């Protein structure tokens, strides 16, 4: 059985979302990085970087939230989060790496400015620069979603979950998606899924 480390109000939420989509049994250890719980010798033996999320599944120890979701989908979500066919699976890998490299850096930057900083600390020049950096990735995403209902084909897969989980940083900070209507509709659909709503409730509880 998978043990997932990390409190829900962190990148762990994307892994909780994947596990809840699949409805498989798992153990959740809500280690809180803000309380030093990821710097204990016990936790560092799982992730020497002292960060969450981390996953243990029998003899598998894994970190990196988006990669962990590929692992979860591949091993436990055959035919659902992990679609059939080489082409669709290629898209799951492609969009996951795209999320990590193209969309997450400016989105996390925005989260830091709006959620982690106090209003008087906010760097408005940086906020404007981050909006500019987000435009090209959103153009790419909007074009893909104008051609296909979901990123790896006609159904929701781990590609959508991983990219939408990053987009959530934008929705949470009231990013204006008006110029990207296909993204707007798809994000609303993905984030509204019952499994993600359940994880949102877990975030509030921690």
Ligand X SMILES: N[C@@H](CCC(=O)N[C@@H](CS)C(=O)NCC(=O)O)C(=O)O
Binding site for ligand X (CB under 6 A): 10-11, 33, 38, 50-53, 63-66
Residue 52 or 141 with smaller CB distance to ligand X: 52
Least CB distance from residue 148 to ligand X, whole Å? 26
Taking the C-alpha atoms of residue 184 and residue 130, their distance in angstroms, rounded to an integer, is 18
Q: How far is CA 186 from CA 85, 137, 141, 168, in A?
A: 23, 15, 10, 12
Least CB distance from residue 51 to ligand X, whole Å? 3
- H-state helical runs in 54-180: 65-76, 86-98, 104-111, 124-147, 158-172
What DSSP string describes 65-86? HHHHHHHHHHHH-BTTTB-SSH
Least CB distance from residue 169 to ligand X, whole Å? 11
Residue 52 or 182 with smaller CB distance to ligand X: 52
Least CB distance from residue 59 to ligand X, whole Å? 20
Residue 21 or 104 with smaller CB distance to ligand X: 104
Residue 11 or 110 with smaller CB distance to ligand X: 11
Least CB distance from residue 46 to ligand X, whole Å? 12
What's phi and psi for 26, nearest 5 deg? Answer: -155, 160
Q: Which residue has its beta carbon closest to ligand X?
A: 51
Residue 71 or 180 with smaller CB distance to ligand X: 71
On the CB side of 44, CA atoms within 13 Å amount to 6
Taking the C-alpha atoms of residue 173 and residue 179, their distance in angstroms, rounded to an integer, is 16
């Amino acid at each position: 059985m998978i043990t997932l480390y990390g409190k829900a109000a962190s990148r762990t939420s994307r892994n909780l979302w994947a596990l809840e989509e699949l409805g498989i049994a798992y153990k959740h250890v809500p280690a809180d990085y803000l309380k030093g719980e990821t710097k204990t010798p016990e936790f560092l033996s799982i992730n020497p970087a002292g960060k969450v999320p981390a996953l243990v599944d029998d003899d598998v120890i894994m970190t990196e939230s988006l990669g962990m979701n590929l692992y979860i989908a591949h091993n436990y979500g055959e035919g659902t989060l992990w679609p059939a066919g080489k082409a669709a699976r290629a898209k799951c890998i492609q969009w996951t790496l795209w999320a990590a490299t193209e969309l997450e850096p400016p989105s996390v930057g925005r989260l830091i400015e709006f959620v982690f900083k106090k209003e008087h600390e906010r760097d408005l020049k940086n906020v404007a620069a981050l909006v500019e950096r987000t435009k090209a990735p959103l153009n790419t995403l909007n074009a893909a979603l104008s051609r296909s209902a979901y990123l790896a084909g006609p159904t929701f897969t781990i590609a959508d979950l991983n990219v939408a989980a990053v987009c959530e940083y934008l929705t949470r900070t009231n990013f204006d998606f008006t110029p990207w209507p296909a993204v707007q509709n798809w994000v609303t659909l993905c984030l509204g899924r019952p499994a993600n709503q359940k994880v949102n409730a877990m975030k509030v509880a921690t």
